[in-house]
Structure 1
Amino acid sequence: MDWNASSQDKVFVRYSRLGGGSDPGAPVLPVQFNRGANNDFWSMGANWNRIFGSSVVNDLLIGYSDGSTYGDYLDPNGLGKLNTRLGVPGDQALRGLVNIRWGNDLTQIGNAETGTNNANRVFQISERLTWLRGRHTLKFGGSWNHYASDSIYPGNNGANGFISYANFNFTGSSFSDFLLDQVSLKGRGMPDSEWTHIQHRVAFYAADDFKVRDNLTLNLGMRWAYTSPFVEKNDRQANFDLTNAAHLLANQNGNSRALYDPYYKGWEPRLGFAYRKGDRWVVRGGYGITQLMEGTGANLRLPLNPPFFFESEVAYDRTSGPGTITTGFEGLRALDRPSGQVRAWDPGVRPQFTQQGNFFVEYLLGNRSSVNVGYVGSVSTHLITPIDGNQPLAGTGDPSTWLPVQQRRPLYQFNPALASISTTASRGRATYNALQSTFKRRLSGGLDVVANYTFSKALSNNRGYFGTGPVAGDGAYPRDSNNIDLNYGPAWFDARHLFSMAGSYDLPFGRQRQFGSGWNRAVDAVAGGWSLSFAGIARTGFPITVTDSAGRSLRASRSPEHPDRIGSGKVDKPTVGRWIDRDAFQSPALGQLGNSGVGILRMAGYWNVDLAVRKQFATTGRQYLLFTAEMFNALNHVNLGPPQANIQSTVFGTITSSVGDPRIVQFVVKYYF
């Protein structure tokens, strides 16, 4: 609703709601259980715009949103609780089957039941004042956001748990390990963990767009932002002290409610300029700092710690001998004891810090076209990084005589039941450097075109908690949590060359066009007034990280381990069946981390062309019919997916998937009246 209260005041109010759900249908295998969901989202907001004289404008915005997602694993075949019926003993919290994992080559069965039910509420107030004063455009403002998130989450191990034959291969094949019942990892969580996280974000800023001269403008600004640490509504969370294996309870024994330190140094300066030389040259540049407290998965949050949440996990390797599915979860500690997995947040966790800069030169070619060339760069530090705070250490002497993996964990002396500790720290870093160029031709003679080319390099030691493992190869955790820079290399999105082009062309045939201006209406309706449009993209391939699931390091790594690289790994004329030189990699010596790095090889490049044809048919008066034929992937080009990068896989180095859709053609008819 819009309301013009006066010549100086404008108010609008809005309300929206969206509900729905999803039914994934019956699974391919009866022993898989797909998850359905019910969603409910609504929001409301109000804005008041007030004009004070001829030079001051104020905007006040108030908003609230509420969104919830609740779901459950469906059992369309009515199988119920299957564990004991299929020979897996022990209690079972929910219907379904324990998740049994075999690695990348095979389809896993069952479900660990890791689904999250949540409701998120956000309240926002934003204030902005703009003041025109001479050559200055001054802007002042601020915002306050209140976040509350209710979650019901059983942990990544799931309420029904999992049994894995893929984390470490005793025989060299995960399926062979399954046939011999040689388990490498077991885990199980709680079915009814419920908690509410609360957080505030506040920011203030001041900026000045200063027109120094008619051809020179400076942009100056400063912003300060603060993100409060997460607190649990009823203080139902605990941190974990990695020095003495002690649980720190929120708001008890002198501990803060958040259990990690606030960060108040969120200063974000801005500096930019634009300089015009004559009628054809423009030079622009800028520098700024941004900082943001990144999110993580629910599995890393502190409410998922004893005494409020219990989760168990146990790893097996050559030093301990394999586990077995026939004992179910008997090898795990009871879920009412602080054992297995716990979570820890470094007390010094802080927002990520990114410095960004750019410099561009633009030149006008004639009256219709321009070229823009420049540099863009960024340096990021203090990126959120998940690490294992209790990663087993290397033993001494002959690896075949090392102590069992659990006894080599640093905190074993304090609590022998503790397994891996999912730790959140601010240790990640990344850089991005790029040459970017753009050519633009504004509409002239029926043709307009925009073309972009980027030559770039992106490096990081952390792909992000929600990164793209299937492409990059590595997991969210570093392979060695004591030296995360072993994971430094090309970022998962690093495409060295990227070109895109889009445009449209009005064919010069028909009435009011170059040819056929005298056509009658019937001829023009068939042959005149057609337009073409196109969009294309081409890039070089994303990085590939070669991995090794043999588990030779004997350190229970939370991320895929790497092999030794004894050759380049590149193939002179790669094919779908041989994209990687298999002879260039081998498993490292027992007890060693492989020397093969991150992103050492590349996927196939990607390109795609979309086309569209349009025709407008005049009817009566100002009414008309618009016909459009659209072709996505018009050339029906197959873009290859990543090859299998695990050297233990029987199809290592082979591409078995494609990226993107085949050609899709659709026709659209719209009538305008």
Structure 2
Amino acid sequence: VLDTNGAAVPSARVVVKNKATGQTRETTTSGEGTYTLQNLPPATYEVRVEASNFAQAVVETVTLNVGEVLAINVTLSPAGAQASVVITPSDVLNVDTNTSQVAGVINERTLANLPLNGRNFLDLAFLIPGNAPAPNYDPTKTTTIEVSSAGQLGRGGNIAVDGADNNDDVVGGTLQNFPQDGIGEFQIVTNRFSAEIGRSASSAINIVTKGGSNEFHGSGAFFFRNSRLSAVLPTLDRGLVQTAGRPPFDREQYTASIGGPIKRDRAWFFAAFEYRNQDGVVITGVRDLTARRVVTSFSPALLNDLLFTTRGDWQTGKNDRMAFRYSDQREDDVDRGSLRRPIGTADNRQHSFNRYHSFVYNWTHTFSPAVLNDVVFHENNFLNRIPSFVENKNEIRFPSVQDGGNFRIPQQTPQNRVQFRDNLSWTTGAHALKFGGEFQRIDAGAVFDLFGSGTLFTTEDFASRDRNSDGQVNDNDIPVAITISSAAPVRPPTVDDLDNYYFAFYAQDDWKVRPNFTLNLGLRWEVDTDAKNLKHFDEINPILLPFVGSSRSREYNNFAPRVGFNWDPWSNGRTSIRGGYGIYYDRIVLEVPLLERLLDGRKLSLGVRTGSVLDASGNFVPGTPTLANPFVGTLIPGAGAVGINILDKNLSTPYVQQFNLGVQREIAPDLVLSADFIHSFGSKFIIGRAIGSVFNPVAGGTDGVVNIESSVKNWYDGLLINAQKRFSHRYSFNASYTLQKSFNFSNDDQIPFQVGPLDNNNLRLEKGPPPNEERHRFTFYGVVDIPYGFQVSPIYTLASDVPFDIQLPPDIGGTRIPQLQRNAGGRTFRTGSELNVFINQFNAGRPLASRLPLVRDELKLGDSFQSFDLRLTKTFRFSERFNIQAIAEVFNLFNVTNIRGVNNVNFSGFQNTLLRDSANSAAPGYLRSSSFGSAVQTAGGVFGTGGPRGFQFAVRINY
């Protein structure tokens, strides 16, 4: 606060009033004229500044977004010149001159008007530079959206809703969804957040739910789309579409919200409801017995998703305010039973039931204008249940399709969390200090009936001859290679008491060294009590003692310092140069210790039996296993060993060192341009490495031992450019561009059992780009009010291709080609002709059976992503407080075919195995792979983001 001569005004009274609720906070300026009000909730405020011998100054409208630090400089005029001075919103500085973090915010107005396919708030993260979709690693929650930030793969990251964790601590990623109408604001800090936030080596997502105000308000809406409003999936077999028609689909979403005062200026309430009823399809495989080929088809896939959240706020006294929130989600959906290949049939689907509850209590007490304390208590419960989809039906693994009951269901996962956080904010002189601590108890478990329905592997998709001498050639003539069924001593195998306690303490000082230079200094300490399975260490299988040793210890040295700066070189609030360094610890998901307890050589054991026996003429011998009677083969001693997992004695919490340097500049009123370079270097990330074997008496043979250890690293470099136009003159927009490059050692960042290293003694061979790396990514979104009550809101996304592994033919291993780096497709090789040069070199001097088939020369390895979504809204106003909106939305307006996968084994969406055209080594097709590089799946599945063009219509009532 300055006078008209530019001198500081000390002891000025600054009063901030929430315009929706009437709540006020106040403070006084320091001797240097500075003032700070910490922990203000996101809202629209009025700011009044008063001082002796000066006229009152009023900033009538200031919008504070979640996670933002606003600088509002006020110049006071001498008393008597005029009663008060009104400062327009354009005088409020839009450049962050206080923090060194790299973040993006989407406010309530923008969030409410963007076209979001599926209305999931996490889609907003992909509009912020440095963030992109992550592969789905969790087949139990197939509709979940995961966020990859700064090259990380999505299991980490911290998602907080009203200051409370919303993370899945069993497998990682997000937990509960919320009604879009209940979300107030969205912020994602991609890099370099303060010491107040932990449990993330990636990004921090901060969500604030809506609260009530002194005026009653509410809404109701209905959204609708169906297959007649959508284009046909390009990867479907065209002959199937002609005979069976386009895939059936319809989605109805019902939303409602209401909020208002319980007592004006003292207590308020808000509630939001959303229900999604979707009758869709999932891509499945069909064995066409007439054409003798596996074709893609579709099968019904329902989705029922009920979301509810309610919140109450209470100003109990001048210095105390409280908030309560309860949220509930009940979801059941049918989807594919596996995220891996090969494709599954209709019987191989799964039906998931997910239940979520969360309760949050927040109490804020103001001790003085300079000291404030904030307490958060949180409890949430989650239960995932996947019963058998088809009863008493074995799974049949044909080479190109898997049929029958999925091998990994039924299963069940509960998770319960209790969380307590306390933060003390203290402003003294030029220091804005924060101290605090956090406690969490996470209790989880698992039920996992692996191969409970029995699985048999065949050698052919279709019978090649009559092997049972019945005069017909049908499925009963397909040889069985091997069968697997559960031999667990207790079924289903169960792990209880998978719990962990988390403690953290932190201190943060945002020090205004000079009026135009701020230092951000922080230190965080955190510890997990049982991420290394200490509680159950004495229960470890005795045969493993030579590997695990006699003891383990907790990590008590996870100190995370953070230092940053923000410099306003011209002291006018229009430019900031910012940078910093910090250490950020990830969290070890509970699936890691779960692996040690489940794959301990005792709980899970399998019965592996021999397959079909043929005579010299290639016919079945009497009594041999066939599809009609598969589980009669000889039990293979020792073959039922599923592998043993142990946690390394020195297993550590992964951490990332983050660096950033950037500039932010207001280049025009309400238009801010920023450019940030960020570098991340991750250490002690987790991988599974085979270290030996042991005789397992339960399996009756040798069992391999995989050591889960902190042995690998990752790197990320990115240039993040963003232009943001705040809403004024009837429009707002945000345009961002990311140029990035990253490397890691696995297609997963914590769970090691999916694809192991090629050489356990040389992990450097695993270094390669992550499966979802987009070197270039551009996004644009905006909201434009046009005459006659119309509004247009576009979202445009353009991204380069993602890489993929190149897999050996199944007859010579099926793993990735050892001579190539991981995910070489689209990086080492861009075209089929480039890959064929390598294949010819590889084949030179090798016997025919070990040679690789050639691919099409004209093949392009990889596919860019491009989607343009648009919403058009017409508002019919009947009064100042009542209107009806007609909404039309289109997703992927130009119907661009975007090939993308789902899982981290092959996120590219292309067929990436060198499948031979013919199994006959004498045929030309033996050394040709026509199917390699063919499109398998589009982005977003059948009707998701980036999928075929789809129209959606809605009507909304606001009052």
Question: Distance in 1 between the 2:651 and 2:530 partners?
Answer: 9
TM-score (norm 1): 0.74
Partner of 2:656: 354
- Offset of 1:340 from its aligned partner? 4.5
Q: Which residue of 2 is the match for residue 331 of structure 1?
A: 635
**Alignment partner, residue 317 of structure 2:** 6
Counterparts in 2 of 1:266 and 1:498: CA distance versus 1, 3 Å = same
Matched, 1:210 2:514: no
Q: CA deviation at 1:33?
A: 5.3
TM-aligned CA deviation for residue 543 of structure 1: 0.4
Q: 2:317 aligns to what SS in structure 1?
A: coil
Q: Which of 526, 530, 540 is matched with 2:800 structurally?
A: 540
Q: Residue 96 of structure 1: which of 379, 386, 393 is its match?
A: 393
Paired amino acid for 1:363? R
CA 1:496/1:35 → structure 2, altered by over 3 Å: closer, same or farther?
A: closer
Structure 2 partner of 1:228: 529
Aligned: 1:585 with 2:839: yes
* Structure 1 position 126, deviation (Å): 0.9
Q: How far apart are residue 59 of structure 1 and its match?
A: 1.4
Q: What are the Cα deviations for residues 19-43 of structure 1, in whole angstroms up to 9, with x where unaligned?
A: 4545679999999254434444333
**Aligned partner of residue 414 in structure 2, secondary structure:** strand
Distance in 1 of aligned mates of 2:815 and 2:592:
22
Q: Deviation at 1:106?
A: 2.6
Match of 2:952 in 1: 666
| Structure 1 counterpart of 2:455 | 162
Match of 2:606 in 1: 312
Paired AA for residue 194 in structure 1: T
Q: Which stretch of structure 1 is more off in the superposition, 486-495 or 457-466?
A: 457-466
Pick which of 291-300 and 432-441 moved more.
291-300
Counterpart position of 2:493: 193
Q: Does 1:437 align with 2:748?
A: no
Contact 1:22 1:38 in 2 (8 A): yes
Separation (CA, whole Å) in 2 of partners of 1:486 and 1:565: 9
Q: Output the amino acid matched with 2:911.
A: Q
Which residue of 120, 131, 145 maps to 2:426?
A: 131
After TM superposition, give the deviation of residue 443 of structure 1 in Å: 3.8
Whole-angstrom distance in 1 between the partners of 2:314 and 2:328: 22
Amino acid at match of 1:421: V
Choose between structure 1 and 2 for higher RCO, CA contacts under 8 A separated by at least 6 residues: 2
2:372 is the alignment partner of 1:57: yes
Structure 1's 413 and 122: CA in aligned 2 closer, same or farther, altered over 3 A?
Answer: closer
1:421 paired to 2:730 = no
Aligned match for 1:66, one of 362, 368, 381: 381
Single out whichever of 647-656 and 138-147 deviates more from structure 2. 647-656
2:896 to 631, 637, 643: 637
SS in 1 for 2:869: strand
SS at the partner of 1:277?
Answer: coil
Structure 1 contact 312–341 (Cα < 8 Å) conserved: no
The CA deviation string for residues 291-350 of structure 1, in whole angstroms up to 9 with x for no partner, is: 123226479522225575132376999xxxxx9775557434489xx9442221111111
The structure-2 alpha-carbon separation of the partners of 1:411 and 1:671, relative to structure 1 and needing over 3 Å to count, comes to: closer
Give, in whole Å, the separation in 2 of the partners of 1:569 and 1:8. Answer: 61
* Counterpart contact for 2:804–2:825, Cα < 8 Å: no
Aligned AA (1:223)? R
Cα–Cα, structure 1 residues 601 and 480, in superposed 2: closer, same or farther, change >3 Å? Answer: farther
1:270 deviates by 0.8
* Equivalent position of 1:498 in the other structure: 777
Alpha-carbon spacing, 1:162–1:296, altered in 2? closer, same or farther (3 Å): farther
Aligned length: 572
Change (3 A) 1:565 1:182: farther
> 2:451·2:484 contact (CA, 8 Å) conserved in 1?
no
Aligned to 1:373: 675
AA of the residue aligned to 2:560: E
C-alpha separation between the residues in 2 aligned to 1:614 and 1:535?
Answer: 15
Q: Matched residues, percent identical? A: 21
Q: 1:99-148: per-residue Cα shift (whole Å, max 9, x none)?
A: 33234x33444422444212211111111100110110110001111111
Using the TM superposition, give the Cα deviation of residue 539 of structure 1 relative to its aligned residue in structure 2, in angstroms.
0.9
Deviations 1:446-471 (A, max 9, x none): 3433211111101111121679x9xx
Confirm or deny: 8 A CA contact 1:616 1:627 kept in the other structure: yes
Contact 1:201 1:225 in 2 (8 A): yes
Alignment partners' CA distance in 2, 1:11 and 1:31: 51
Q: Does 1:446 align with 2:730?
A: yes
Where does residue 356 of structure 2 map in the other structure?
Answer: 41
Residues 12, 565 of structure 1: alpha-carbon distance in 2 compared, 3 angstrom cutoff: closer
Cα shift at 1:421: 3.0
Rounded to whole Å, the distance in 1 between the matches of 2:791 and 2:736 is 23
- 2: distance between equivalents of 1:114 and 1:654? 30
Cα distance in structure 2, aligned partners of 1:25 and 1:358: 41
1:652 partner amino acid: F
Matched, 1:476 2:755: yes
State the Cα deviation string for residues 642-672 of structure 1 (Å, max 9, x = none): 3211113541232243323211212222222
Distance in 1 (CA, whole Å) between partners of 2:633 and 2:583 is: 50
8 Å CA contact retained: 2:864, 2:898: yes
Deviation at 1:385, TM superposition (A): 1.1
Amino acid at match of 2:479: D
What is the distance in 2 between the residues matched to 1:529 and 1:224?
53
Amino acid at match of 1:213: R
Q: Read off the aligned partner of 2:597 and give its amino acid letter.
A: P
User: Following the alignment from structure 1 to structure 2, what is the Cα–Cα distance between the partners of residues 653 and 331?
Assistant: 39
Measure, in 2, the Cα distance between the counterparts of 1:306 and 1:140.
42
Do the aligned partners of 1:565 and 1:585 also contact (CA within 8 Å) in 2?
no
- Do 2:405 and 2:453's aligned partners in 1 also have CA atoms closer than 8 Å? no
Pair 1:243–1:447, CA change in 2 (3 A): same
CA distance in 2, matches of 1:139, 1:46: 20
When the two chains are superposed, the root-mean-square deviation of aligned CA atoms in Å is: 4.3
Match of 1:83? Answer: none
Paired position in structure 2 for 1:388: 690
Of 300-309 and 134-143, deviating more is 300-309
Q: CA deviation at 1:570?
A: 7.8
Contact 2:861 2:933 in 1 (8 A): no
Letter paired with 1:346: D
Structure 2 distance, partners of 1:189, 1:412, is: 17
Residues 572-619 of structure 1: CA distance to partner in whole angstroms, max 9, x if unpaired?
x999xx79855642677589999x9xxx99511111111122222221
State the alpha-carbon separation in 2 of the partners of residues 487 and 666 from structure 1.
44
Q: Quote the Cα distance in structure 1 between the aligned partners of 2:637 and 2:587.
A: 35
Cα distance in structure 1, aligned partners of 2:741 and 2:366: 47
Are the counterparts in 2 of residues 340 and 417 from structure 1 also a CA contact under 8 Å?
A: no
Hey, what does 2:864 align to over in structure 1? 605
Q: What is the rounded CA distance, in whole Å, between the counterparts of 2:524 and 2:851 in structure 1?
A: 44
Distance (Å, rounded) in 1 between the aligned partners of 2:872 and 2:346: 48
SS at match of 2:758: coil
Residue type of the partner of 1:119? P
| Contact 2:314-2:321 within 8 A present in 1 as well | yes
* 5+ residue gaps, structure 2: 1-311, 465-473, 612-623, 901-908, 918-930, 940-945
Normalising by the residue count of structure 2, what TM-score does the alignment of the two structures yield? Answer: 0.53
- What is the CA–CA distance in structure 2 between the aligned matches of 1:163 and 1:25, rounded to whole Å? 19
What is the SS of the residue equivalent to 1:303? helix
| Partner Cα distance (1:616, 1:302) in 2 | 58
Unaligned runs of 5+ in 1: 81-94, 249-254, 318-322, 391-409, 510-527, 554-558
Taking the aligned partners of 1:193 and 1:545, their CA distance within structure 2 comes to: 33
CA–CA separation in structure 2 for the residues paired with 1:413 and 1:35: 33
Deviations 1:141-178 (A, max 9, x none): 01111111122223xx42234334589xxx9xxxx999
Give the Å deviation of 1:486.
1.3
Moved more, 615-624 or 261-270: 615-624
